[in-house]
Amino acid sequence: MTATAPHALKPRKAPVQTRSIITVEAITEATIQVLLSHGMDRLTTTLVAERAGVSVGTLYQYYPNKRSLLSAMLEQKMEEVSLAVEVACREARGKPLAEMMHHVVERFIDAKMARADISTALYRISADVGGPELVKRVEARALRALTGMLATASDAGSKSDRFAVTVMLASMSGATRSVLETGASPSMVRKLREHLVLLCESYVTALAARP
């Protein structure tokens, strides 16, 4: 990717007409496919447009540059996951710790696995495309939600601080990524759910038990 001014990462215009929406969706889908089949450094705007069945020109009507195309995809997926976590946290407020973790982990993995291919594809970008900053910004919401939820646990005065929650979230992401990159068979995913619940639950409990 050639150097690009840091501005202009937003999509160029929001599609309103039906045709436009279809076009944008085709582009989005094509990006995923190319990312998966060719990898980050053979992804070219021309190739994406071709796969989407439109011309490059059209692609550039919706995204001012390549970076914004990828950035949009990354943000979209991450928002989705963050939202899922937020909702799960709201639902689990006031419950006992074990139940909380169970619920949140399930929703987190659900969100990642809905279109697991997208998740996998995005691991190929996150480093570039404003990765860390974007990640931090989007994860902040999930972080707040989790911290808030933990404070309402019915069975334990929570000692969990922001840092502990970060560690937990990063662990969940790391483990899920690892499984996704190994292929993610259904049985693997089942085990992942189980283990992540155990991991988080025991961690939170241990935190609460600290002097």
Contacting DNA within 8-37 (CB under 7 A) = 13, 15-17, 19-20, 22-23
Nearer to DNA, 46 or 152 (CB): 46
Is residue 95 within 8 Å of residue 153, measured between CB atoms? yes
For 181, residues 6+ apart whose C-beta sits below 8 A from its C-beta are 120, 123
Shortest Å distance, C-beta 180 to DNA: 25
Closest to DNA by CB, 11 or 148: 11
Give the residue among 33, 127, 25, 22 at the shortest CA–CA distance from 74.
Answer: 127
How many whole angstroms separate alpha carbon 173 and alpha carbon 37?
A: 23
Among 39, 53, 94, 96, binds its own copies (CB under 8 A): 39
For residue 189, give both structure tokens.
């995913």
Per CB under 8 A, the list member of 41, 157, 186, 211 interacting with its own copies is 41
Q: Is 171 in the site for its own copies (CB under 8 A)?
A: yes
Which among 7-15, 89-97, 107-115, 194-202 is the span making contact with its own copies, rule CB under 8 A?
194-202
d(CA 176, CA 157): 29
CA angle 163–166–167, rounded 5-degree value: 90
> What DSSP state is assigned to residue 4?
-
In angstroms, the CA 55 to CA 46 distance is 8
- CB-facing half-sphere around the CA of 139: CA atoms within 13 A: 17
Strands (E), the chain: none
* Residue 125-154 contact track with its own copies, rule CB under 8 A, x = bound: xxxx---x--xx------------------
Residues between 49 and 78 that touch DNA (CB under 7 A): 54-58, 60-61, 64-67
Which of residues 10, 37, 42, 115 is near DNA by CB under 7 A? 42
Q: Which residues in 75-114 contact its own copies (CB under 8 A)?
A: none
Contact residues toward its own copies (CB under 8 A) are 1, 3, 39-42, 123-128, 132, 135-136, 163-164, 166-175, 177-179, 181-182, 188, 191-192, 195-196, 198-199, 201-203, 205-207, 210
